Amino acid sequence: MRAPAASDIAAGEAILSVKNVSLAFGGVKAINDVSFDIKKGEIRAIIGPNGAGKTSMLNVINGFYHPQHGQITFKGRTRQAMRPYEAARGGIARTFQNVALFKGMSALDNIMAGRTLKMRRGFLWQMLRIGPALTEEIAHRRRVEEIIDFLEIQAIRKIQVARLPYGLQKRVELGRALAMEPDLLLLDEPMAGMNLEEKEDMSRFIIDVNDHYGTTIALIEHDMGVVMDLSDRVVVLDHGVKIADGTPDEVKSNQAVIDAYLGVAH
Amino acid sequence: MILLGQILEVLISGLLSGVLYSLVALGFVLIYKASGVFNFAQGAMVLLAGLALVRSLDFVAAQGFPMWTAIILGLTFAAAVMTLSAYVIERFVLGPLVNQDGLTLFMSTIGVTFVLEGLAQMVFGAEIYPLKLFPTDAWFLAESIFPGGILLNKLDVWGGLIAGVLVAGLAVFFQRTKTGRALRAVADDHSAAQSVGIPISWIWFVVWLVAGLVALVAATVWGTKLGVQFSITFLALKALPVLIIGGFTSVPGAIIGGLIIGAGEKLAEVYLGPFMGGGIEYWFGYVLALVVLMFRPQGLFGERIIERV
């Protein structure tokens, strides 16, 4: 069965909804009965103090973790767990908190790896690089070069990524996710460890991706200023429980959120 | 003239036998590139492939089939055995260990080694089985220039040709195909590879399959040279200095490393041997490898790993 296209879902309707999801590692409850949705075309932030279960939530959505309870509906199909391969095929791309690039490969090859699922030709044709395989390779390469232009990393495309500074590695990682042409893009702390200028660049890219490609984005971020500026709606987790959900302004004035961040005597 | 002819002969035979080491080293490089694992079982895979080939070939030939049919059937059967073992290794040993530490994976290949060695000999027998796939006589070249000519072993020449074709094919496979790119990606980062939709279990199956087929090719040449027998597994130890010199991650490095070791140990044996009592070729390769380790720990062609502090 073919996964339904994202175009079947109207803007403003939920592209992904998480319902009563609980995830435990042994006795530790990482996520406890959390429900929320992500609407098509929006930028959705997931915030919360350290250990709130944000990354676990992303791992559930992307298929790395399988929750013990609850359901996830993505593009109209409901399931409790899926494998990362199925998530990628379905149109979910992601970046990682501590950059996870293919360190031995060039920036270009890293981004090309994001096209894996879109390449169809058999390996013998690809080895000979003739006929349809050649046309295909050129088409994908052109698409990847567009992404490289978009992210302004032309100068580093042939450099092995392990040699790049951290900020640029983050950018290449975003490029690899974009190369998948995802319907839903998950960003795990896209600005962690960046200086102000790099943060501004990254914010601009995130907004542009959302504007130009209409990609739905869910992001985890610690920098409150960034979150409030970027996102349309924010969900707040604390100790694996959802404590608030709404527009940045609503969340900012929510007492439970203020308590969670500032800490109160329990 | 006699001296020059002798040097040439030693050099050429050394280079060619070095290529035969490269054939075994290639299997290591493939698995290391694609899963970051040093595959201790490569020698056992050569034994398994060799036994499957020679025993099925003898069986078919004994039924009265012509030699060519027997060879084709034997190769097909051995390839099928390697495919099956690749599937079983992925499914039951490496598959459950996705996202584990490299050392854990290495230990599991040690386990695979003993299982493969035991099973192969249990199923196919533990004798010495002669294999005759390639001619084993010699050419004498340039007899008009050098008295007696330069002796060239035909088997070594075949081995060199096969290794050349194999390396060219593998290099193109790694560079140009999406599967090749996916193999390198999986070696670098399991979760990142999964996140772009690379099915790790399929990739690992492919890589063990390719390593198994390379082992089969190595078995055809080495089996002809030594006969198919248990000691063929020790080739893995000969491949070690080749890998250290060439670099664990480089396919061309495996060839260059083999050439250096092959030529080095033969020249050392012939020209240093008399002064040191002989037997040099058994350890000379390891000394060369140690020297390279001192100056270029990643090998001549290996990827340089830069650790950020």
Min mean pLDDT across A198-202, B31-35, B185-189 is at B31-35
Chain A: residue nearest B179 by CA? Answer: A123
pLDDT at A19: 92
For position A265, what pLDDT does the model report? 61
Highest-confidence segment of A31-45, B125-139, B145-159, B240-254: A31-45
pLDDT value, residue B307 = 55
Average of pLDDT values for A200-211? 93
- The domain locations on chain B are 26-236
What's the pLDDT score for residue A206?
94
B199 touching chain A per CB within 8 A: yes
A15 or A123: whose pLDDT is higher?
Answer: A15
Can you give the pLDDT at residue B309? 52
Q: Which residues of chain B lie closer than 8 angstroms to A94, CB-CB?
A: 195
Cα B21 from Cα B243, distance rounded (Å): 10
The model's confidence at residue A2, banded by pLDDT at 50, 70 and 90, is: very low
Mean pLDDT along residues B209-225: 91
From A84, A117, A127, residue closest to B177, measured CB to CB: A127
State the pairing for strand pair A184-188/A216-220: parallel
CB atoms B189 and A103 under 8 Å: yes
The pLDDT confidence band at residue B276, using thresholds 50, 70 and 90, is: confident
Measured between CA atoms, how close is A252 to chain B, in angstroms? Answer: 33
Q: How confident is the model at residue A1 (pLDDT cuts 50, 70, 90)?
A: very low
Indicate the domain borders of chain A. 1-91+182-266, 101-181
B209 touches chain A (CB under 8 A): no
Reported as a pLDDT band with limits 50, 70 and 90, residue B105 is confident
The alpha carbon of residue A184 is apart from the nearest alpha carbon of chain B, in Å, by 13
Of B173, B189, B198, the CB nearest to A116: B198
Query: What chain A residue is nearest to B306 in terms of C-alpha separation?
Result: A162
Query: Rounded distance, CA B117 to CA B115, Å?
Result: 6
Which A residues, 205 through 264, put their C-beta within 8 Å of a C-beta on chain B? none
For residue B301, count CB atoms less than 10 angstroms from its CB and return exposed for 0-12, middle for 13-18, buried for 19 or more. Answer: buried
A126 Cβ neighbours under 8 A, 6+ residues apart = A119, A133, A137, B176, B177, B178
CATH of range A1-91+182-266; options 3.90.800.10, 2.30.29.30, 3.65.10.10, 3.40.50.300: 3.40.50.300
Burial class of residue B227 (count of CB atoms within 10 Å of its CB; 0-12, 13-18, 19+): middle
Which pLDDT belongs to residue B304? 65
Residue A241 CB contacts under 8 Å (≥ 6 apart), including other chains: A32, A33, A34
Q: What is the mean pLDDT of residues B192-219?
A: 90
Give percent of chain B above pLDDT 70.
97
Residue-wise pLDDT tens digits, A171-188: 999 999 999 999 999 999
Task: Report the percent of chain A where pLDDT is more than 70.
Answer: 95
Residue-wise pLDDT for A97-137, tens only, equals 888 999 888 999 999 999 888 887 777 777 777 778 888 88
Question: Among the listed ranges A116-120, B112-116, B169-173, which one has the minimum average pLDDT value?
Answer: A116-120
Answer whether A184's CB lies under 8 Å from A216's CB. Answer: yes
Facing A113 at nearest CB: one of B181, B303, B305: B181
- Nearest by CB to B182, which of A84, A116, A160? A116
Q: Can you tell me the distance from the alpha carbon of B31 to that of B88, in angstroms, rounded to the nearest whole number?
A: 16
Average pLDDT over residues A203-228: 89
What's residue A46's pLDDT? 93
User: ipTM of this model?
Assistant: 0.83
Which candidate in A58, A89, A102 is best for mutational testing of the B interface (most B CBs within 10 A)?
Answer: A102
- Is pLDDT above 70 for B77? yes
CA distance B76 to B84: 12
- The pTM for the full model equals 0.80
**Mutant choice from B35, B191, B196, B203 vs A, greatest count of A C-beta within 10 A:** B196
Mean pLDDT value of segment A41-66:
91
pLDDT tens digits along B116-142: 999 999 999 888 999 888 887 878 877
- Residue A18: CB atoms within 10 A of its CB come to 23
Q: What is the mean pLDDT of residues B87-112?
A: 88
Q: Which of A88, A115, A127 sits opposite B172 (nearest CB)?
A: A127
